[in-house]
């Protein structure tokens, strides 16, 4: 079951400092090659776009934070979300995992739920839609198949043309690719109900045979 991930206290987000000025639209951000769109620049010393920016908004950039509110780590994972997307392979809770491990799980969430998993902070940075983080061995064909992209790998390439250029095979590990609209899921037809067999008629019992009448006694 797909769960809603990483809600955010809106009041806390409202008083956060404004983000740095955005870079040029459609440009790859220097802190995280492959992240295209509008980027605000690095978030703090050594920060990388986009995850350190989101963490800065969600938790003040504290990757090991556990405030006792039910959300953990730099990206404020809800515990069921952490478990749903493979976090237990790294640690019991997000705040106990390394920054890179939290980002790895967040990338799985991003490919499924999109930036709406972080509704307040993604809006702050102008992040929207679903994205796929390229893993070793990925191809446009395999990515399109995994995410059921309408139009296949060609549509995936077209959506990322500014990043990939005319060479769709130029995929570097860590690139964040925009995911176009997925194909609608085909519902599995339910099997027709098997009709119940008609009950067999109850046999009518035959009447018991009538015993023959006794012969009359002879007169003496």
Please name each of the domains of the chain with its CATH number. Answer: 43-128 (1.10.530.10), 130-183 (3.10.350.10)
How do residues 74-104 score in pLDDT, each as one tens digit? 999 999 999 999 999 999 999 999 999 999 9
Whether residue 87 contacts residue 76, with contact meaning beta carbons closer than 8 Å, is answered with no
- Buried b / exposed e over 43-58, threshold 16 CB at 10 Å, is beeebbbbbbbbbbbb
* Residue that has been written with the tokens 């000025």 in this structure: 21
Most confident range, picked from 150-159, 162-171, 190-199: 150-159
Q: What is the pLDDT of residue 217?
A: 60
Q: Which of these ranges, 90-104, 110-124, 147-161, 171-185, has the smallest mean pLDDT?
A: 171-185
What pLDDT score was predicted for residue 34? 42
Tokens of 29: 């951000």
What is the Cβ-side half-sphere exposure of residue 132, based on CA atoms within 13 angstroms? 27
What predicted TM-score, i.e. pTM, was given to this entire model?
0.65
């Amino acid at each position: 079951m797909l769960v809603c991930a990483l809600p955010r206290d809106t009041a806390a987000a409202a008083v956060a400092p404004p983000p740095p000025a955005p870079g040029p639209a459609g440009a790859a951000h220097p802190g995280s090659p492959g992240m295209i769109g509008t980027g605000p620049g690095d978030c703090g010393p050594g920060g990388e776009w986009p995850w350190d920016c989101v963490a800065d908004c969600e938790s003040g950039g504290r990757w090991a934070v556990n405030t006792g509110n039910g959300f953990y780590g730099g990206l404020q994972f809800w515990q069921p979300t952490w478990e749903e997307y493979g976090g237990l392979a790294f640690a019991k809770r997000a705040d106990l995992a390394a920054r890179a491990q939290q980002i790895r799980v967040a990338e799985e969430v991003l490919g499924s739920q999109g930036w709406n998993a972080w509704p307040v902070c993604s809006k702050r940075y102008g992040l929207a839609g679903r994205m796929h983080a390229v893993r070793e061995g990925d191809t446009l064909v395999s990515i399109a198949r995994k995410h059921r992209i309408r139009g296949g790998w060609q549509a995936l390439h077209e959506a990322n043309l500014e990043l990939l250029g005319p060479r769709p095979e130029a995929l570097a590990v860590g690139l964040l690719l925009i995911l176009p609209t997925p194909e609608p899921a085909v519902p599995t037809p339910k099997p027709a109900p098997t009709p119940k067999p008609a009950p067999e008629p109850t046999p009518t019992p035959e009447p018991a045979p009538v015993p023959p009448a006794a012969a009359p006694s002879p007169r003496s």
